[in-house]
Structure 1
């Protein structure tokens, strides 16, 4: 039996599906109040769990061969947020200690490429880059860097761990609506009209789940692996969305650089006033304008990790969101009980 924290998340629910497909018994932990659509009809043990509840984690980990720790808060806001730090850092400390107390054989921690130290623009980033919160931009990246350092500390003290760093995740089964999932959904609704130049590495969520399972079985204790996919510019991604979609879309306008940051500032302020998600912020602009290349050569060599073509991921993501939205004949009516 294995435990997955954050099981209702995008990577989490796809990992659970992969484990079930491999006939692995799964105990799926999710935050109290989470929507369970992502896990419906899956033969797993469902346990509501606050990641800050240490005693609850010990009970949930009892008898587990491995714990896959994915629970966390993702944010594109650039400044410190107490809740993000508590869940991503204090929650990870709880998981580490609970693994020790429950006698878990291996902890597989899913972090992010955003936790890796940032070099100069355009650099190729591999596993030789350290985790250092002082060399990372943004609240999310800093919190994940600190959390990874706790996992590394635990590994140095004898806990069997493997650390994984996915890049920008896209793909089907995005029930909770990730940042990129919202872009795909807005595109299908005809609401994606404004974009910014830049590029990033995007990877299929199904390949990430496969890489996580491979790391559990084959990864060397104490090691870290980047699970990246393919680097693509935003202009090429928009063109791919148009090419993969059956219906003709309205043109997407790319903002000139002189307007990007003032608009990001306005969107950030609007977020705080309204509670709605901003399309982009200083953090997302920073990420798109670093032009990094995240190499998965180590994961491919040691784990047999092989991400699929990005066009396939884009096609499958669009198809999944179309079904979710009951998309047909240009209409976007929501069918009750569809998901």
Structure 2
């Protein structure tokens, strides 16, 4: 039986490479991994996978590549985000902010058009929980896909919202699309979550707790997100009950930011010597002051009100729809996932120290 042809955009990135690995393991797919960059030394690569370099902002090159690869399903993970305090900016005229909108929105539009033109059967889009929870001042407790979106207060959240709407609006006839709204993703080779939490050790920030420290938030292990994408592919090729739908994808284990941080620090044999709680309102005013100084001096801030909101608000959702429609069940539970991830980084840090 011929293998089903799958093309993964962002296929050498953190999530994209994990999806490629899951597809290879399934042994029923012929895989093309599209990215701006080739696989890095720390990224697994496979002889059976066709690795191609292309910019999703180049419509003609993208169209030619899709017609040559003839994918039946496209998994679209390629996207960019801003890190640190930059993440909370809403100004879209700046160079970096503009790049987020171009890649995440225009790039998605190009992928959708190239997919339809090459005769693909559908697209699985990697969306984000930020389409909902980046309404930063709000609390989201056990939210589901029925909660309205479109009020994201960050450029990234807005860009993912627009892109998701483009994807779902293109679902019609035999061309099927769906969107997977992933929570913050962590795992080996994680570029953000584990490194950010670990960096608090060197910065002497581990004793400090913003707000009450009791607000629950969602995270998800990268292999679980990859599993969800494979399930979505099977669904679109099969019963199609996921077509036109969005799904939250998390580990299904809401945890406080403090407990998550403590679990990570413990893996690195670090235990805060004391704890100091900073009231949310006080932290908010400090963030406002830092933003004002940043604006007055032209220097980029490392702290802002957005960080305070992200740290102190409830941010967890229901995965019941993904369970029911996709058959999704988080395979790697949170304690095991954190241990695997931290062990990877311990090896990386040890190797770097020897150089």
Name 1:123's counterpart in structure 2.
Answer: 141
Tell me the CA shift for residue 233 of structure 1: 1.0
Structure 2 Cα separation of the partners of residues 55 and 218 of structure 1? 30
Unaligned runs of 5+ in 1: 328-332
Tell me the CA shift for residue 246 of structure 1: 4.0
Say whether residues 1:151 and 2:156 are aligned partners.
Answer: no
Deviations 1:257-305 (A, max 9, x none): 2442344453797699667x93x54333333333133000111122221
Structure 2 Cα separation of the partners of residues 239 and 72 of structure 1? 30
Say whether residues 1:67 and 2:66 are aligned partners.
Answer: no
- Closer/same/farther in 2, CA of residues 182 and 239 from structure 1, 3 Å limit: closer
Tell me the CA shift for residue 149 of structure 1: 1.1
- Closer/same/farther in 2, CA of residues 202 and 255 from structure 1, 3 Å limit: same
Name 1:330's counterpart in structure 2.
Answer: none
TM-score normalised per structure 2? 0.80
- Number of equivalences: 323
Residue 57 of structure 2 aligns to a residue whose secondary structure is coil
Residue 28 of structure 1 aligns to a residue whose secondary structure is strand
Name 2:245's counterpart in structure 1.
Answer: 223
Tell me the CA shift for residue 93 of structure 1: 0.6
TM-score normalised per structure 1? 0.84
Unaligned runs of 5+ in 2: 92-96
Residue 120 of structure 2 aligns to a residue whose secondary structure is coil
Bigger mean CA offset, 211-220 vs 237-246: 237-246
Provide the aligned C-alpha RMSD in A. 2.9
Say whether residues 1:324 and 2:324 are aligned partners.
Answer: no
Name 1:42's counterpart in structure 2.
Answer: 46
Structure 1 Cα separation of the partners of residues 35 and 205 of structure 2? 31
Name 1:100's counterpart in structure 2.
Answer: 116
- Closer/same/farther in 2, CA of residues 254 and 10 from structure 1, 3 Å limit: farther
Alignment partner for residue 113 of structure 1, among 126, 129, 135?
Answer: 129
Say whether residues 1:210 and 2:227 are aligned partners.
Answer: yes
- Closer/same/farther in 2, CA of residues 334 and 41 from structure 1, 3 Å limit: farther
Residue 217 of structure 2 aligns to a residue whose secondary structure is strand
- Closer/same/farther in 2, CA of residues 19 and 325 from structure 1, 3 Å limit: same
